Amino acid sequence: MLQLLPLLFFLVVSLILMAGFPVALSLAGVSLLFAGLGVLMGTFDTAYLTLIPNRIYGILINQNLFAVPLFVFMGVMLEKSRIAEDLLKNMALAFGRFPGGLGISVVVVGMLLAASTGIVGATVVTMGILSLPTMLKSGYKPSLACGTLCATGTLGQIIPPSICLVLLGEVISNAYQQSQLDSGSFAPNFVSIGDLFAAAIIPGLLLVAFYAAYVFVIALLKPEQAPALRQDGPALTTAEVALALLRGLLPPVLLMIAVLGSILMGIATPTEAASVGAMGAMLLALLKHELNLPVLHAVSLETLRVTSMVYLILVGAAIFSSVFRGFGGDILIESWLTSLPGGVITATAIVMLLIFLLGFILDFIEITFMVVPLVGPILLGMGVDPIWLGIMIAVNLQTSFLTPPFGFSLFYLRSVAPPEVSTADIYRGVVPFVLMQIGLMLLLAWQPGLATWLPGILK
């Protein structure tokens, strides 16, 4: 019975979170409650509690995590300065006159917006407000419009510089070092956030290509479901189309090149590159005459809110993992995973299924800091590549957030969709995109080099 205490502890935490209580307080409160009960029962070593202050201090001084508020600031500034709105308008002018062109424009804009904000909820809501009415007015089938918007909104999980990849990179790096220390290697290799950014580029671009190809094929086979955007005035000349593309694409693309290029080329750390992105977003807003004190105040408040949430969850997760290990939960999970028939393949599949199911009820931050530190060192100790594992988890979470009936992305779009769009339309629309993402995971499992090749080249 005592051996099942870690599982009971994990179950109670999950139930409390499902009930809607604040994540950070739930993680910390339930953990300390179970630790107290364990001390009274004589089944918990209080030494694990003494480790908590040092772990919290380590979170607060972690240089890599300083990138989080800076990337959040960059994304919110781009959103508040209406750069995304201008980007969509100019892309629609260039491609909307072709069947499926508006849908493909939405995919491209969603990719750039995902790379700018890195937050799924913000991307889906912004795209829903800006694009869904236009797509429906143009005659797009509601399910196709909703599926395209939900899927492109979740690209923020995998397109760098993503907050998810920043946090995953930190956790995977720690798990990789822990697995090497556990195996007796006291000169461990390191995995950086930049490695995960590089690894995500090819899978992310593949997903964008899949989405755009799907919209294009639908437009060819069933043009009534993805018609061309009706032009009110005279047709645009080639020069006007080129100018619209230049004005729409150039600012965010240059910003992404500056941020990602400096990381991938080794010129700057992710935190330094994030500061470049934050300053670049402010300059773009200034050039558009959208930077003023009210906008700066709103952006700063939103950045503070998101950053505070992330750090509070980090603190709660640090307490949770310490108590879980104090009950011997890590040993229990290791013995269970390593004893499964099929070895590392079965263990990885079970972990991926668990993360996928938890994605229905928990946000990526909770999963990243609750689950990955527990199972990561075990899988990495069994020989799984850390970079490949990080990308698989990111794509897995992205798929979970898109899968009916519980995907977070679906709820975000439902909150801004007009009443004539039914929930069933949203569910039907995302199914092909969920299948594409599952297909990408199978492709990554078959060809792990899609994730590991570019980081290896850049080292």
Task: Give 371-432 as a DSSP string.
Answer: THHHHHHHHHHTT--HHHHHHHHHHHHHHHHHSTTT-HHHHHHHHHS-TTS-HHHHHHHHHH
What's residue 388's pLDDT? 94
Q: Which amino acid is at 256?
A: M
CA–CA separation, 396 and 353 (whole Å): 9
What's residue 186's pLDDT? 64
In degrees, rounded to 5, the angle at the alpha carbon of residue 235 between the alpha carbons of residues 230 and 240 is: 115
Residue 368's nearest CA partner among 81, 137, 171 is: 171
CA–CA separation, 360 and 134 (whole Å): 30
Token pair belonging to 366: 């909770």
CA–CA separation, 215 and 234 (whole Å): 26
What's residue 392's pLDDT? 93
pLDDT in single tens digits along all 459 residues of the chain: 556 777 888 888 878 877 777 777 888 888 889 888 888 888 888 888 888 888 888 888 888 788 888 888 887 887 777 776 777 777 777 776 777 888 888 888 888 777 665 666 667 777 787 778 878 888 888 899 899 988 888 887 888 877 788 888 888 888 888 777 777 766 667 788 888 988 999 999 999 999 999 999 998 888 888 887 666 655 666 676 677 677 767 777 788 788 888 888 878 888 888 888 889 888 888 887 778 888 889 889 988 888 888 888 888 888 888 888 888 887 778 788 888 887 888 989 999 988 888 877 777 777 888 888 888 888 888 888 999 999 999 999 888 888 887 777 887 788 778 888 888 888 899 999 999 999 999 999 999 999 999 988 876
Helices of type H across 19-119:
23-41, 47-50, 52-60, 67-80, 83-95, 101-117
Peptide bond into 69 cis (omega under 30): no
Judging by beta carbons within 10 Å of its beta carbon (0-12, 13-18, 19+), is residue 241 exposed, middle or buried? middle
CA–CA separation, 360 and 217 (whole Å): 30
What's residue 187's pLDDT? 62
Token pair belonging to 143: 């399910």
In degrees, rounded to 5, the angle at the alpha carbon of residue 320 between the alpha carbons of residues 274 and 405 is: 75
Peptide bond into 223 cis (omega under 30): no
What's residue 432's pLDDT? 93
Is 454 in contact with 194 (CB distance < 8 Å)? Answer: no
CA–CA separation, 4 and 332 (whole Å): 9
What's residue 5's pLDDT? 79
CA–CA separation, 176 and 8 (whole Å): 27
CA–CA separation, 23 and 20 (whole Å): 8
Is 362 in contact with 406 (CB distance < 8 Å)? Answer: no
What's residue 436's pLDDT? 94
Question: Which residues, in sequence order, are CB contacts of 149 under 8 Å at separation 6+?
Answer: 106, 110, 124, 127, 128, 131, 132, 135, 413
What's residue 10's pLDDT? 82
Judging by beta carbons within 10 Å of its beta carbon (0-12, 13-18, 19+), is residue 372 exposed, middle or buried? buried
CA–CA separation, 181 and 187 (whole Å): 8
Q: Write out the H or E segment, with its range, that includes residue 4.
A: none
Residue 97's nearest CA partner among 262, 237, 259 is: 237
What's residue 64's pLDDT? 78
Is 117 in contact with 255 (CB distance < 8 Å)? Answer: no
Work out the number of other CB atoms within 10 angstroms of the CB of residue 14.
17
Q: Which residues of 149-182 are buried (b: 16+ CB within 10 A; e: fewer)?
A: bbbbbbbbbbbbbbbbbbbbbbbbbbbbbbbbee
Domain ranges of the chain: 2-458
Residue 72's nearest CA partner among 283, 271, 360 is: 271
Question: Which residues, in sequence order, are CB contacts of 168 under 8 Å at separation 6+?
Answer: 196, 368, 372, 390, 393, 394
Phi-psi region of 383 (alpha: psi -120 to 50; beta: other; left: phi over 0): left
